[in-house]
């Protein structure tokens, strides 16, 4: 069963169980920073306010205390994360087809 992801000062959602945290945030139309998507660069780093995450492989990038790399982890409990910018600035506008 998937765990709830809460965005600090935002809302909560239920990600697909197989999705990484980055994929889960992207599926909510939140434009996250990333480069490698494999735990090497550290570009995607965000603050974990509450909860636990699980890395399938230990990331090589330096991770600050209290931060996580959402590109290569999944929520291991209900989690609360802080985004690097206000949610409204990170929400992507859906392209009109």
Is residue 30 a contact residue for ligand FES (CB under 6 A)?
no
Does 13 bind ligand FES (CB under 6 A)? Our answer is: no
Cβ 35 to ligand FES, closest distance in Å? 5
**Binding residues for ligand FES, total number by CB under 6 A:** 13
Judged by CB under 6 A, the residue of 7, 69, 81, 83 near ligand FES is: 69
CA dist list (Å): 25 to 81, 97: 10, 22
3 touches 51 (CB < 8 A): yes
Residue 78 burial (CB count, 10 A): 15
């Amino acid at each position: 069963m998937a765990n709830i992801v809460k965005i600090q000062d935002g809302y909560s959602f239920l990600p697909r169980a197989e999705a990484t945290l980055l994929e889960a945030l992207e599926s909510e139309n939140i434009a996250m920073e990333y480069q490698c998507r494999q735990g090497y660069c550290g570009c995607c780093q965000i603050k974990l306010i509450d909860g636990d995450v699980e890395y399938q492989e230990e990331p090589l990038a330096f991770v600050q205390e209290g931060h996580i790399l959402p590109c290569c982890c999944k929520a291991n409990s209900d989690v609360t994360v802080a985004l690097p910018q206000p949610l409204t600035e990170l929400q992507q506008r859906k392209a009109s087809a």
